A and B are shown apart, each in its own frame.
Chain A
Amino acid sequence: MRIPVLFVTFALVLTSGVYASGARESDASTITLYSGRGESLVQPLVERFEEETGIRVQVRYGGTAELAVLLQEEGARSPADVFWGQDGGALGALSRADLLADLPEDILAGIPQIYRNSTGNWVATSGRARVLAFDPRSIPENDLPTSVFDLTAEKYRGNVAWAPTNGSFQAFVTAMRVVHGDETTSRWIRDMLANDVQIYRNNTSIVEAIAAGEVAMGITNNYYLLRFLAADPAYPVRQTFFEANDTGNLVNVAGAGVLKTSTNPDGALQFIRFLLSSVAQQYFTTEIFEYPVVDTVEMNPQLVRYDQLLDITPEVDLDTLEDLEATLSLLRSAGAL
């Protein structure tokens, strides 16, 4: 019988030491990063940072929401120094739970209003524009809606997709509430539902559904399609902005903050500075098709220019976007969630 082989393996692995070493406190030469951003895009940056500063980064990868909930559960006992999340809502929740430390003024200097919150305890690391993705085979360019409010038109019945559980979508709804008020927003949601809006899991599945010809268009974030196109240049979907200043052009953010309980706040700040440096900003733009938060990088030709984007997008305070509760409540009462 060779079952013992298994147990021996087990014992060997057991004694190899990894099993007993729990969460380590950071010292001056390491920081612990909780990253809701994907490993494939974080890893190259982390390596670069480690090379430049000699500070080692221990990374915990996970869903932005899961890690945000984890940080709340850990509270004062958290081993994390930095949280880097995919959307502002998660950082807002941590800010409200009083878990984030104030960032020094100079870090926020030169960063446009749409990329910072007034509390100053977290900062956007890149911008992600809301866009309309569409199937050019079924919707001719001149038949596209000019405003997100046009999507309720009868001619688009059953042909528009959204992802109501998605953080970016909810931030967009919050923006609509801020700009147009709760009543208008609620009516828009009900009209969309009445117009047989198609519900999808997330932005990725919206873009895939358009490619499959299941639905003609969908409101999503700008980079998903661009990443698909990078893998497959023949991908049959296109995307566009609505008219300038339309709420549908909201720029969402990915952002980062330093935990109040950080045992290496200097190292943590260095990491945030690095994320805002032109090296990292150039990387976000070139490699993952997100918008830079500083004006010092060369734009990816597939994105609109930095100053153009600021013209197109509605000016909405990041702080106001943090008010998720009311948005969720509104989505629920309208029957969208």
Chain B
Amino acid sequence: MSTNLLLKRRGNLRVPRLLLLPPVLIALAMVIPLWYLLLRTAEADSALLRELLFRPRTLQLLLNTLALTAYVLVLSTAIGVPLAWLTVRTDLPGRRLVTFLAVMPLAIPGYVMAHALLSLGGNSGLLAMLGLSVSRPGGLHGASWALSLYAFPYIFLNTRSALLSLDPGTEESARSIGYGPAQVFLKVIIPLISPGLVAGWVIVTLYTLGDFGAVALMRYEVFSYAIYTQYAAAFDRVYAAALALILVGLTAGPLWLEAHFLRSRYVARVGSGVARRTAITPRGPWLIPALFFVTAVVAASLGLPVLTLIYWMTLRSPLPVLHRVAGFFANSVAAALPAALVAVVMVLPVAYLRTRFPSRIARLAERSVYIGYAVPPLALALAMVFFSLRAVPWLYQSLTLLVFTYSLNFLALAMGPIRSALMLAPRRLEEAARSTGRGPVPAFLLTVLPILRKGIFASLTLVFVMAMKELPIAFLLAPTGFTTLSVAVFSRTSEGMLAEAAPYAAAIVLLSSMFVGLMLRYEGQEFS
């Protein structure tokens, strides 16, 4: 009924020219890695390329990748969505703490999570100490659990910002026309939070396709294995580029599905600008299972890895290296914080255009954001090396370039929460503000930005925490002598010194937890 009205209104609002600039720039920047990969692939000898690709093992690796992705999606949704629901829509005791704890697993480096799960089983494992003889996890199950336990926060955060932005009025209306709670959930809430959920799925899918470390430690062979082998064993950029292109191609499927899904959705609050606090469902008999669920998730996703880190630190005291940890700590912040801010600033206009003026350019820019996340990070870093040495040699291996590359890499992470929040922010508000004679920018700042705050905070958190852990880009593009915490960790684990690496890994977790805590505090101001 209101579609026509909206379409008509859309005609009245002209796209501010300036708003087109950032999306176009982003789309152009995303051409760099693709161009680079094509350029390198063009150097390949086709016979060798065929030998590499057309063998039964490639098919096996692709099938394994598919199985892993499906498993991780199911598992991380089963963990992330109920947690989001419990923290936003119930009066679960300690909701704020649970929210914090549910975001934190993002900060756990993959190798720590894998080792933590591995240390459960085996002769000297945790369970063996309790008298249980269990073999160590591994294969598809082990890899899926390891990935899901630190990827579910993507689902959690995306679902949560969607739930937070819901207008209680919608549910009340549904109830008033006789919907029961189950119907409200299925017919009202699920459709409303689905953009957020789908955004989370896309990120988890891309993440799973690209992850190599934890999956390899769990001894499950996937397609990213082939790319890694090509770079790491053959020291080769050419055939690795061809494999990377295939990986990018693999991501086209889920991205197309998401685009198709989003095109058919327009959800917005019809009520006031800032939503009332959403209704809280009584906890009732669900309290005990809910608490049990939360405890189990936190114990597995945070407790185990933190225990593992503590165990390593008892083997070798972190005290003598504390001053070094502090130095790297500062470097990590200097890279990750601006990366988070730049990513959010870059993604805002793209998401705004996409939801308000969904032209072809807007859709293209929005899709291009995902290229940065779909290209294997090592390939992205090499592309930036290639590009910057030719175009802007004075910026090569500068912190600016590192920050910019991080932003490109993680734009896709920033996109989800902001876009979901924008989709739920009523267009009418800006129109009202515009009708009072304000320009488009003041209208946006006055009306939309406040509603977006939660989404923005979620985006900042995602990018910051991921940039803290990031590796190959830091190897290649950080200023020489500028060692970040994640490089310090790698620099020890690569020599088999797990105990020495622990303080630096712990610092990553600690720093990320401080940031997450800070974000949640700001975010909560509205209601506290």
Interface membership of A292, Cβ < 8 A: no
Chain B residue with minimal CB distance to A227? B496
Q: Determine if B235 and A227 form an interchain contact, defined as CB atoms under 8 angstroms apart.
A: no
Q: Determine if A65 and B135 form an interchain contact, defined as CB atoms under 8 angstroms apart.
A: no
Stretch at the interface among A108-116, A139-147, A268-276, A325-333: A325-333
Q: Determine if B481 and A224 form an interchain contact, defined as CB atoms under 8 angstroms apart.
A: no
Q: Determine if B237 and A73 form an interchain contact, defined as CB atoms under 8 angstroms apart.
A: yes
Q: Determine if A38 and B491 form an interchain contact, defined as CB atoms under 8 angstroms apart.
A: yes
Report the separation of the CA atoms of residues A326 and B486 in the bound assembly, to the nearest whole angstrom: 34
Residues of B near any A CB (own CB < 8 A): 51-52, 55, 57, 118, 121-125, 135-136, 216-217, 219, 221, 225, 228-229, 231-237, 240, 315-316, 333-334, 337-338, 341, 378, 382, 385-386, 389, 393-401, 403, 472, 474-476, 478-483, 487-488, 490-500, 522, 525
Q: Determine if A13 and B480 form an interchain contact, defined as CB atoms under 8 angstroms apart.
A: no
Q: Determine if B491 and A13 form an interchain contact, defined as CB atoms under 8 angstroms apart.
A: no
Q: Determine if A213 and B122 form an interchain contact, defined as CB atoms under 8 angstroms apart.
A: yes
Question: Can you sample 26 A-B contacts with CB below 8 Å?
Answer: A6-B337, A10-B341, A13-B334, A19-B403, A22-B394, A22-B397, A39-B483, A59-B480, A61-B487, A62-B476, A66-B475, A68-B235, A70-B475, A73-B237, A74-B385, A93-B234, A165-B216, A165-B225, A199-B219, A211-B122, A214-B136, A228-B496, A231-B315, A324-B235, A325-B234, A332-B57
Q: Determine if A213 and B233 form an interchain contact, defined as CB atoms under 8 angstroms apart.
A: no
Q: Determine if A38 and B497 form an interchain contact, defined as CB atoms under 8 angstroms apart.
A: yes
* A199-246 residues at the B interface, CB under 8 angstroms: 199-201, 203-205, 207-209, 211-214, 223-224, 227-228, 231-232, 236
Interface membership of A155, Cβ < 8 A: no
Closest CB of chain B to A168's CB: distance in Å? 11
Q: What is the interface size of chain A, counting residues whose CB is below 8 A from a CB of the partner?
A: 78
Of B316, B400, B474, B475, most A-chain CB atoms within 10 Å: B475
Interface membership of A72, Cβ < 8 A: yes
Residues 87-116 of chain A, each 1 if its beta carbon lies under 8 Å from chain B, else 0? 001100110000000000000000000000
Report the separation of the CA atoms of residues A64 and B495 in the bound assembly, to the nearest whole angstrom: 11
Interface membership of A60, Cβ < 8 A: yes
Q: Determine if B522 and A204 form an interchain contact, defined as CB atoms under 8 angstroms apart.
A: no
Chain B residue with minimal CB distance to A170? B233
Q: Determine if B228 and A165 form an interchain contact, defined as CB atoms under 8 angstroms apart.
A: yes
Q: Which residues of B contact A69 (CB under 8 A)?
A: 231, 235-237, 240, 378, 382
Residue in B338, B382, B487, B497 whose beta carbon sits within 8 Å of that of A227 in the complex:
B497
Residues of A near any B CB (own CB < 8 A): 1-3, 6-7, 9-10, 13-14, 18-24, 32, 36-41, 58-70, 72-74, 77, 79, 86, 89-90, 93-94, 165, 167, 170, 198-201, 203-205, 207-209, 211-214, 223-224, 227-228, 231-232, 236, 288, 324-325, 328-329, 332, 335, 337
Report the separation of the CA atoms of residues A73 and B11 in the bound assembly, to the nearest whole angstrom: 49
Q: Which residues of A contact B55 (CB under 8 A)?
A: 332
Q: Which residues of B contact A41 (CB under 8 A)?
A: 495
Q: Determine if B499 and A231 form an interchain contact, defined as CB atoms under 8 angstroms apart.
A: yes
Q: Determine if B235 and A214 form an interchain contact, defined as CB atoms under 8 angstroms apart.
A: no
Q: Determine if A205 and B217 form an interchain contact, defined as CB atoms under 8 angstroms apart.
A: yes
Q: Determine if A73 and B235 form an interchain contact, defined as CB atoms under 8 angstroms apart.
A: no
Q: Determine if B396 and A23 form an interchain contact, defined as CB atoms under 8 angstroms apart.
A: yes
Of B125, B397, B479, B496, most A-chain CB atoms within 10 Å: B496
Report the separation of the CA atoms of residues A58 and B525 in the bound assembly, to the nearest whole angstrom: 45
Report the separation of the CA atoms of residues A13 and B333 in the bound assembly, to the nearest whole angstrom: 10
Report the separation of the CA atoms of residues A134 and B302 in the bound assembly, to the nearest whole angstrom: 32
Q: Which residues of A contact B118 (CB under 8 A)?
A: 208, 212
Q: Determine if B237 and A19 form an interchain contact, defined as CB atoms under 8 angstroms apart.
A: no
Chain B residue with minimal CB distance to A18? B399
Q: Tell me the interface secondary structure of chain B in the complex.
A: helix
Residue in B216, B393, B492 whose beta carbon sits within 8 Å of that of A40 in the complex:
B492
Report the separation of the CA atoms of residues A2 and B457 in the bound assembly, to the nearest whole angstrom: 13
Q: Which residues of A contact B237 (CB under 8 A)?
A: 69, 72-73
Report the separation of the CA atoms of residues A57 and B399 in the bound assembly, to the nearest whole angstrom: 19
Q: Which residues of A contact B124 (CB under 8 A)?
A: 211-213, 236
Q: Determine if B481 and A59 form an interchain contact, defined as CB atoms under 8 angstroms apart.
A: yes
Closest CB of chain A to B386's CB: distance in Å? 6
Closest CB of chain B to A159's CB: distance in Å? 14
Q: Determine if B476 and A89 form an interchain contact, defined as CB atoms under 8 angstroms apart.
A: no
Q: Which residues of B contact A204 (CB under 8 A)?
A: 493, 496, 498
- With contacts A73-B382, A324-B234, A332-B52 taken as known, whether A60 is within 8 angstroms of B136 at the C-beta atoms is no
Q: Determine if B398 and A223 form an interchain contact, defined as CB atoms under 8 angstroms apart.
A: no
Q: Which residues of B contact A24 (CB under 8 A)?
A: 480
Closest CB of chain A to B372's CB: distance in Å? 19
Q: Which residues of A contact B494 (CB under 8 A)?
A: 36, 38, 63-64, 86
Closest CB of chain A to B120's CB: distance in Å? 10
Chain A residue with minimal CB distance to B483? A61
Nearest 8 pairs between A and B by C-beta?
A212-B122, A62-B475, A213-B123, A93-B235, A39-B491, A65-B232, A23-B397, A38-B495
Report the separation of the CA atoms of residues A257 and B474 in the bound assembly, to the nearest whole angstrom: 23
Chain B residue with minimal CB distance to A86? B494
Q: Which residues of A contact B525 (CB under 8 A)?
A: 1
Apart from A94-B235, A165-B232, 15 more pairs, CB < 8 Å: A7-B341, A14-B338, A60-B480, A63-B475, A63-B494, A65-B231, A68-B235, A72-B235, A89-B233, A214-B135, A214-B136, A231-B499, A236-B123, A324-B235, A329-B51
Chain A residue with minimal CB distance to B495? A38
Q: Which residues of B contact A335 (CB under 8 A)?
A: 57
Residue in A1, A23, A94, A324 whose beta carbon sits within 8 Å of that of B480 in the complex:
A23
Report the separation of the CA atoms of residues A35 and B382 in the bound assembly, to the nearest whole angstrom: 17
Closest CB of chain B to A99's CB: distance in Å? 11
Q: Which residues of A contact B234 (CB under 8 A)?
A: 93, 324-325, 328
Report the separation of the CA atoms of residues A77 and B395 in the bound assembly, to the nearest whole angstrom: 13
Report the separation of the CA atoms of residues A223 and B495 in the bound assembly, to the nearest whole angstrom: 9
Q: Determine if A22 and B233 form an interchain contact, defined as CB atoms under 8 angstroms apart.
A: no
Report the separation of the CA atoms of residues A59 and B136 in the bound assembly, to the nearest whole angstrom: 38
Q: Determine if A70 and B496 form an interchain contact, defined as CB atoms under 8 angstroms apart.
A: no
Chain A residue with minimal CB distance to B476? A70
Residue in A2, A60, A77, A332 whose beta carbon sits within 8 Å of that of B51 in the complex:
A332
Closest CB of chain A to B485's CB: distance in Å? 11
Q: Which residues of B contact A19 (CB under 8 A)?
A: 338, 398-400, 403
Report the separation of the CA atoms of residues A20 and B500 in the bound assembly, to the nearest whole angstrom: 33
Q: Determine if A61 and B475 form an interchain contact, defined as CB atoms under 8 angstroms apart.
A: yes
Closest CB of chain A to B421's CB: distance in Å? 16
Q: Determine if B496 and A203 form an interchain contact, defined as CB atoms under 8 angstroms apart.
A: yes
Q: Which residues of B contact A165 (CB under 8 A)?
A: 216, 225, 228-229, 232-233
Of A1, A63, A165, A228, most B-chain CB atoms within 10 Å: A63
Report the separation of the CA atoms of residues A236 and B493 in the bound assembly, to the nearest whole angstrom: 20
Closest CB of chain A to B223's CB: distance in Å? 13
Q: Determine if B337 and A9 form an interchain contact, defined as CB atoms under 8 angstroms apart.
A: yes
Q: Which residues of B contact A201 (CB under 8 A)?
A: 216-217, 219
